[in-house]
Amino acid sequence: MNTAELKNFGKPDEVREFPKGRVELVKIGGATVGRATLEPGWRWLTSVQPLAGTKSCEAPHFQYHVAGVLKVVMDNGAQFECRPGDVSLLPSGHDAWVVGNEPVVIVDFQGMIDYAKVL
């Protein structure tokens, strides 16, 4: 890395929209970082699963939670709620949904490169 870079989610390199949500992607330093905004009523199973075609979310995530509450249920039964200020690491195999009436905003440093991508 010989050059400094600066990107802004206000001018993303790519935007993917799906029912009750969207992901804005910036490519920087050879990586793809995504900001997801998930509206109340969003759930992976109903909003993204039809695009992914998998039983559960197979994208691993390393994310910082900016706003809202996100309930996560792993395929092994483990479950927890992510809140603003939390950092979560999710391996493949989970479902998630927005809790309450506030949108969830997440910055994901790992799992958005193919997330909600129409294949």
**What pLDDT score was predicted for residue 119?**
61
CB atoms near residue 101 (< 10 Å): 9
Segment 60-78 shows an average pLDDT of 97
Entry pTM = 0.94
Q: What mean pLDDT is reported for the chain?
A: 95
Q: Is the dihedral of CA 6, 7, 13, 18 positive or negative?
A: positive
Position with higher pLDDT, 52 vs 73: 73
DSSP for residue 103: P
Dihedral, 84, 90, 94, 97 alpha carbons, nearest 10: 10
* pLDDT at 1 exceeding the cut of 80: no
Q: Of the CATH numbers 2.60.120.10, 3.50.50.60, 2.60.40.10, 3.40.50.720, which one belongs to the domain with range 14-108?
A: 2.60.120.10
SS3 98: strand
Tell me the pLDDT tens digit for each residue of 16-68.
999 999 999 999 999 999 999 999 999 999 999 998 999 999 999 999 999 99
